Amino acid sequence: MKLRFAPSPTGLLHVGNARQAIANALYARRHGATFQLRIDDTDRERSREDYADALRTDLAWLGIRWDETFRQSDRLDRYAAAIETLKDSGRLYPCFESEQELAAKREARIRMRKPPVYDRAMLRMTAEQRAQAEANGKVPYWRFRLSDGMVAWDDLVMGRSQVKLPSISDPVLVRADGTVLYTLASVVDDLETGITHILRGEDHLTNTGVQIDIAEALGARPGRFTFAHLPLLLDEAGGKLSKRFDGLSLRALRQDGIDPAAVVSYLARLGSADDPAPLSLEELATTYDVRRVSRSAARFDMRQLLALNRKVMHQKPFEAMRDLLPEGATEAFWLAVRGNVDLLSELRHWWDVAGGTIVPPVQDDEGAYLLQALSLLPADPWDGETWKSWTGAIRTATGRSGKALFHPLRVALTGEEKGPEMRDLLPLMGHERVAERLRIAAR
């Protein structure tokens, strides 16, 4: 068994593609299969080396490893051989229409209330007509003549699926400049590198019917591949997530401080019968079953991802976080704040609260109270009981309790309405820092 993830280096990896990468990686691990990373870079104009590097970086950040990898641009000779095979069999035929001519044909068919399917006019060209066209300077592009009838397969997610080939235009496989298109290159790679299972988005359903026909024209046996088409992700408003990549690229999530384990855990189970839980790739792989993915579109909810990210970080020991914490941060700091951060980027703020410099807001109506609390501040050394003993003394002296007792102190010492337990933060702040913040807030 062999699976592949085949991104194009034409942009940053976003959560929709990451979901497919995770599905393939988990399925491969679950079944002890080989996992291939293929860089689909036949689009010369849009493919960029920095995007290819970013793809590998993002996959490694997720913890995804591959057993083999290659670039399509290194296999152009194999595509050329396949092109000749299809030409020799009569399945690949030259076309000379311009974009304007094709557009006019489509409009004419629509006016006649016919499907805007390519009319195969070029199949009726004689050798003399073709020679004349080329003599006039026209360079052909090449279409694949689809079979008549229907292509069907048992999809691991969508169930029994079928594509009526006569309802589809014969696809262009080779541009006039000789560039081979993804539709053919992908089939050649899958056949020649032994891919057995193809897990990808449902936007490829029609393309799958076409590619099965191409594969069989190249000699593949029927049923050569097993397919699973994952429903596309929607944004929180129900729109197509695929149209909104910028804020949901893996690079953006990483820069925002999302933990990769949260991304993997969320996307692995999004849209399935299993609730997301903070698990590692290895743990997820033991039970991963693509058949449990719903056929309905799933909605990507950033709030759910943040909630899961909090759980992931809360479980992590100090040693696992040491290199991600602000310089000088201790285990006591991590244990104090880890239950109150959604993002790694928030740690810097709490480090400033605990051991750095902040300017708390002035509480004009609580000035007298804060100065009285300052006068009752116990001497060092401080420990986990200091907050309790200090606030107990304040309660006895002022008669305050509940929110009236605690809220002004929290705001004065942290600048926040809520956050980590004060009993844990107070020893990290120290006597001098606490006293100074009380004076500032009491002005």
Mark the binding-site residues for ATP, compressed into ranges: 243
CB 80 within 8 A of CB 86: no
Q: Tell me the C-alpha to C-alpha distance, in Å, between residue 405 and each of 206, 359, 365.
A: 65, 21, 14
Name residue 122's amino acid: M
Q: Rounded distance, CA 294 to CA 288, Å?
A: 14
Q: Rounded distance, CA 55 to CA 50, Å?
A: 9
271: closest CA among 256, 289, 244, 258? 289
Extract the annotated binding site: 243
155: closest CA among 197, 213, 215? 197
Question: Parallel, antiparallel, or unpaired for β 226-230 and 197-201?
Answer: parallel
CB 206 within 8 A of CB 132: no
Q: What is the 3-state secondary structure (H, E, C) of 139-161?
A: CCEEEECCCCCEEEEEECCCEEE
Q: Rounded distance, CA 373 to CA 7, Å?
A: 61
